Amino acid sequence: MATYVFPVTVSPLLTVLLVLAALAILAALGQRSSGMPGLPRLPVVGSLPWMTGTTPPHLLFMKFGRKYGPLFELYLGPHRTVVVNDHDHAREVLLQRGRDFAGRPSMVTTDLLTRGGKDIAFSDYSPLWKLHRRLVHSSFALFGEGSSRLQDIVLSEVDGLCAELLSSNGRGFDPSLAVTTAVTNVVCTLVFGTTYKHGDGELQEVMRYNDGIVQTITRGGLVDIFSWMKVFPNESLSKLRACIRVRDCLLTQKLHEHKATLSEGDPRDLLDALLKGQGSPGPDGTVITDDHVLMTAAEAFGAGVETTSTTLLWVLAYLLHHPEVQEKAQRELDEEVGERAVRAADRGRLPYLDSIINEGMRIRPVSPVLIPHIAMSDSSIGGHAICRGTRVLVNMWAIHHDPDHWDQPDLFKPDRFLDDQGQRVTPSCFLPFGAGPRICVGESLARMELFLFLSSMLQRMSFMLPGGATPPNLQGRLGVVLQPLPYKVAVRPRAGWEVSTHVN
C-alpha cells in the first residue's frame, strides 16, 4: 500500500496552536469518558502532572478521595487506573469479583526481580500461577499452625535477640538492626535451613542485597509507568540489577546444595518442600521450573523479612507512646503464661497481645496501597464499567483510617479488636493481608511469628523511651513497605529475666 505524505506547509506558530488545541480537546474528552469521577489527564503523561510533590500515594489518594469520592480514576501515563478508597468497593474488587481483578500489571522492576513473573506476588494470573500458589501454600502449611517448626525456630532466635537488646544496659539505641537480623535469621532457617550467628558474613550479605532491592523496587519510578525508559541509563535500575545478581548467586548455590542432598521423608525447609512438590505438570501441561522454585524462595524470604520486621518496629514505636498498653499486655502474659517460655498454643489465651498486633497492622499497614491489581476481563466496580486491562489500586490505608468504620482512626487503641468480655472481634474492614485470590499466602506464618516474637519480648523486657528522648515519629517513610523512621528505645529486663543477658 502506498503511503501519502500530505503536502501541507503550516507555519510553526500554527502547528503549536494546533497541537495545544488538540491536547486540550483530548484532555477534556479523556476525563469523563467512563462516567467515573477522576483526575484530569493529558495525552502521554496522563494525570501525572496533578500528582507531583512529596505526599506519598496513600495520603495523596485519600486527599483526592475527599474531592472525587471513594472511587475515582486517574491515568498513570497511558494506564487507566482506578483507585479504591473504601471498604465496600474494595470487597467488590478483592472478593465479589476477585477473579476479574486477580491480574497483575507487568512492571520493569518487578519483572527483573522475578525473572518475568515466575513468583507469586507480582506475577499475572494464570493456571500455572494457581498451581504454583497452591504448592507454596501447602509448603508453608508444613511449618506453620499444627507444627512446632516455626515456634522452635523463633524461640531459639528470641534468646539471641533479647540478649542483644538487653546488652544495651539501659542505654538508648535503635532497635531496627537487632530486630531485622533476628527476623532475617528466622526466615533463612525456614526457607533455606541456614542459621547464622549474628554478624556472620553471609547473613550480612543477604541483608545488604535485600536492603538494596527494597530501596530500588517499585518506588513509583517512571520506568514502571513508561517501560521504554529502561533503555536509558538509570542508576536505580543498575543497583537493582547488581543486588539481584548477588541474590541469584547465593540462591543458586542453596538450590544446588538442596538438590544434591534431597532425601525421602520430611522436607528440611521450604526449599525442600518446593522441590519435592515441583513434579506434576499443570492443567495446560506447564510445569513449575527451577526458576519458579528459586523466585518463590527469594520472594518468601523478602516478604517474610520486610513485612515482619517492619510490623514489629511499628508496634514497638507505638508501645513507646503508650506504656499503659505495654503494661496491660505484660499483665496478661504474667497471668496466662507466667515464667515458662511462650508457645504458639498460648495465642488463644492472649487476646490482648493479639489485639496490639492487629492495631499495629491497622494503623500502619506495611502495604498502605496493595500491589496493583489489573482487570483480566471487562467487569465493573460500584456500577461503573471497568474494561479489561484497567489497573486497580486498593488504598488499604484509607480503609483502615475510615472514620465511618473506625472510632478515632488515628489513635492507637488495641481494645477496638476486643469486645466487652475481652474476646477477639475482627471488623470486616480490617484487611492487612488483602483478601480474595491474591490474599497474602504467608498470613498464618506471619501472624504466628509476630505473636511469638512480641510475646517473648514483652514477657522478658520492658521497652521505654531513653531519658530525654522524644517519642518516635509515627509518620513513616514509604519504600516498598511503609517503615517507621529510625527511633531509639531503652530496654529493662523484667523481674526473673535478668538472666537473659547471659544466654548466648
- Nearest approach in angstroms of CB 440 to ligand PLO is 7
The one among 255, 303, 356, 457 contacting ligand PLO by CB under 6 A:
303
- Sorted by sequence, the CB contacts under 8 Å of residue 248 that are 6+ apart come out as 294
Instruction: Name the segment binding ligand PLO (CB under 6 A); options: 29-37, 263-271, 300-308, 313-321.
Output: 300-308
Output the DSSP codes for 415-462.
GGGB-TTS-B---TT--TT--GGGS-TTHHHHHHHHHHHHHHHHHHEE
By the rule CB under 6 A, 342 interacts with ligand PLO: no
d(C-alpha 267, C-alpha 324), whole Å:
44
By the rule CB under 6 A, 395 interacts with ligand PLO: no
Site map (CB under 6 A) of ligand PLO, residues 359-388, x = contact = -------xx---x-----------------
> What totals of helices (H) and strands (E) does the chain contain, helices first?
15, 10
The one among 62, 83, 217, 489 contacting ligand PLO by CB under 6 A:
217
Cell numbers linked to 143: 511449618
Q: Which of residues 479-498 bind ligand PLO (CB under 6 A)?
A: 480-481
Specify the residue, 342 or 361, whose C-beta has the smaller distance to ligand PLO.
361
- Nearest-CB residue to ligand PLO? 302
Q: Which of residues 442-481 bind ligand PLO (CB under 6 A)?
A: 480-481
Specify the residue, 120 or 325, whose C-beta has the smaller distance to ligand PLO.
120
Specify the residue, 85 or 114, whose C-beta has the smaller distance to ligand PLO.
114
- Nearest approach in angstroms of CB 301 to ligand PLO is 7
By the rule CB under 6 A, 302 interacts with ligand PLO: yes
Specify the residue, 150 or 300, whose C-beta has the smaller distance to ligand PLO.
300
Contact 38, 31 (CB under 8 A): yes
d(C-alpha 150, C-alpha 134), whole Å:
20
As beta bridge partners, residue 72 has 83
Measured in whole angstroms, how far is the alpha carbon of residue 91 from the centre of its chain? 19
Contact 82, 373 (CB under 8 A): no
Specify the residue, 367 or 456, whose C-beta has the smaller distance to ligand PLO.
367
The residue with cell 494470573 is 125
The one among 165, 178, 190, 214 contacting ligand PLO by CB under 6 A:
214
Specify the residue, 42 or 246, whose C-beta has the smaller distance to ligand PLO.
246
- Nearest approach in angstroms of CB 210 to ligand PLO is 4
The one among 73, 299, 332, 354 contacting ligand PLO by CB under 6 A:
299
d(C-alpha 354, C-alpha 115), whole Å:
37
Contact 107, 123 (CB under 8 A): no
The residue with cell 518463590 is 296
State the number of binding residues for ligand PLO (CB under 6 A): 15
d(C-alpha 60, C-alpha 149), whole Å:
42
Output the DSSP codes for 299-357.
HHHHHHHHHHHHHHHHHHHHHHH-HHHHHHHHHHHHHHTTTSPP-GGGGGG-HHHHHHH
Residue 288 exposure: Cα atoms within 13 Å on the Cβ side: 27
The one among 71, 102, 155, 213 contacting ligand PLO by CB under 6 A:
213
- Nearest approach in angstroms of CB 303 to ligand PLO is 4
Q: Which of residues 84-143 bind ligand PLO (CB under 6 A)?
A: 121
Q: How far is CA 29 from CA 26, 43, 69, 182, 273, in A?
A: 5, 11, 21, 54, 54
- Nearest approach in angstroms of CB 348 to ligand PLO is 27
By the rule CB under 6 A, 431 interacts with ligand PLO: no
- Nearest approach in angstroms of CB 259 to ligand PLO is 23
Cell numbers linked to 332: 496478661
- Nearest approach in angstroms of CB 121 to ligand PLO is 4
Contact 313, 484 (CB under 8 A): yes
- Nearest approach in angstroms of CB 163 to ligand PLO is 27
Instruction: Name the segment binding ligand PLO (CB under 6 A); options: 208-216, 227-235, 252-260, 284-292.
Output: 208-216
User: By the criterion CB under 6 A, which residues form the site for ligand PLO?
Assistant: 121, 210, 213-214, 217, 299, 302-303, 306-307, 366-367, 371, 480-481
